[in-house]
Amino acid sequence: MLQKLQKHINDNLPFLKEKKLLVAISGGVDSIVLTHLLHQLNFNISLAHCNFQLRKQESNLDESFVKNLGKELSIETYTVQFKTALYAKEHKLSTQLAARNLRYDWFNQLAKKHNFDYILTGHHLDDNLETFIINLTRGTGLEGLTGIPVKNSNVIRPLLAFSREEIKNYALNSSIKWREDASNSETKYVRNKIRHQIIPVLKELNPKLLNSFLKTSEFLKQSQQIVNDRINEISSETLTNKGDVIKIEIKKILSLSNPKAYLYQILKAYKFTEWDDVYNLIYAQSGKKVSTNFYTLLKDRDFLLLLRTDKNSSSENEQVIIYKENTRIVSPINLLFENVQKITISDINTIYVDKILLNYPLTLRKWEKGDFFYPTGMLGKKKVSKYFKDEKISVFDKNNIWLLCSGDNEIIWIIGKRQDRRFLSSNNTTQLLRITI
């Protein structure tokens, strides 16, 4: 068994040999066996152990056990203690999800601080089957049925092809000590209930269940790769990037065999959940949108526009006051105010105004319903909303545009777009103010 395990790591993960590795170790048999294997193969490893303080003295004994193993094998060992129950309560998370967030955040902090190339965990084939069943019962797409990946970004799981029983038998035959987590036998957690009540029944029906699952998992991964290749091809044809906005061409989406399925695959990474609402945007009026905590998808004529946003942001109501003595502001946009003798630069990022016409303090703000101005190069006044419509400025772009206003709230400049002619200066002006983005 030792040779089988070592051969698997050497054959399938040869690139790890020259890397600096951080092994996540709990004290359980899987991570202990992984540590011994990598140590025997002379990999460059350090250990990282999280004490979640959920099992009182048992948690502290796990930590001591890991520290002693590190000393015994002369391996650098990092440990941390978390107030997991408090964290879960404050963040309204389950205990298991809170523990997962805490440990991976810490692992990544260690990796960044100490230049670890990869984080290795002891996940095995039984873990993968349990995850498959959890995802199946909750409802999932093809990607949820492919289980735990061997490699996910900087996290690698070298033992994923081996069962819990194989790993445990190897430890027993090699006189490797480990610690049992008593909570693993409790069935109050979904994973443990599947482990102790569902999988044994499935193994009665098929004693070779794990082998069958391993084959099925490989078939599903191959199918997922075909889907990914197709979605990449479609994305290159239907998506364009314009600054921070991703534009999805509706006409091309509707030309596909199953528009809803393709749209799901294109947008699934952005954590939308109301997929009927997302799909219905295709047929909605311009301006309709669907939002998550961090992303907004908006219908704008012939396109769906995707933008990273923040529901907790207060920038829409933000105003900046600019006094006569100010020569520069840097937030939310960078503006430079200079007294000059004549007009020299001419572009959309620069305007010249007659300082005598300004009523200080000036205000920098977002546009509001009912705003109007007197655009340069045009006769009469115009509503800002009508100007945006005529210029075909998308809703996302509108929300990122700032207005510079005089103290009486008259618009001086739709910044980067059009100046108000009421404040135009001439070379004869003695108090010429140049304002530049």
Is the model's pLDDT at 315 over the cut of 60?
no
Amino acid at 107: F
Residues 329-357: tens digit of each pLDDT: 877 788 888 888 888 877 788 888 888 88
Render pLDDT for 160-190 as a digit per residue (tens, 0 to 9): 999 999 999 999 999 999 998 877 777 778 8
State how far the Cα of 404 lies from the Cα of 335, in Å rounded to an integer: 10
pLDDT, tens only, 420-429: 888 887 656 5
Whether the Cβ atoms of residue 43 and residue 27 lie closer than 8 Å to each other: no
Strand partners, 308: 295
Q: Looking at residue 313, what is its pLDDT? A: 47
Distance (Å, whole) CA 67 – CA 207: 38
Looking at residue 427, its pLDDT comes to 56
With a CB cutoff of 8 Å and minimum separation 6, the contacts of 16 are 9, 43, 118, 120, 156, 158
Amino acid at site 245? V
**Chain mean position to CA 229:** 22
Percent with pLDDT over 90 in the chain: 49
- Structurally, at CATH architecture level, domain 2-206 sits in 3-Layer(aba) Sandwich (3.40)
Mean pLDDT over residues 298-313, rounded? 77
Segment 107-162, tens digit of pLDDT: 999 999 999 999 999 999 999 999 999 999 988 888 889 889 999 889 999 999 99
- Whether the pLDDT of residue 267 is over 50: the answer is yes
Q: Do domains 219-308 and 315-436 have the same CATH topology?
A: no
Residue ranges of domains in the chain: 2-206, 219-308, 315-436
- Residue (of 57, 56, 68) closest to 27 by Cα position: 68
Residues 190-204: what's their mean pLDDT? 94
pLDDT at 317: 54
- Give the mean pLDDT of 348-375: 87
Average model confidence (pLDDT) across the chain: 88
Tokens matching residue 7: 């051969």
Q: Are 158 and 123 in contact (CB under 8 A)?
A: no
**Fold exhibited by the domain 315-436:** Phenylalanyl-tRNA Synthetase; Chain B, domain 3 (3.50.40)
Q: Which among 224, 207, 54 has a CA at the least distance from the CA of 149?
A: 224
pTM of the model: 0.68
Architecture of domain 219-308: 2-Layer Sandwich (3.30)
Instruction: Report d(CA 321, CA 400) in Å as an integer.
Output: 18
What are the DSSP calls for 314-361, one per residue? -GGG--EEE-TT--EE-SSS-EEEEEESS----STTEEEEEGGG--SS
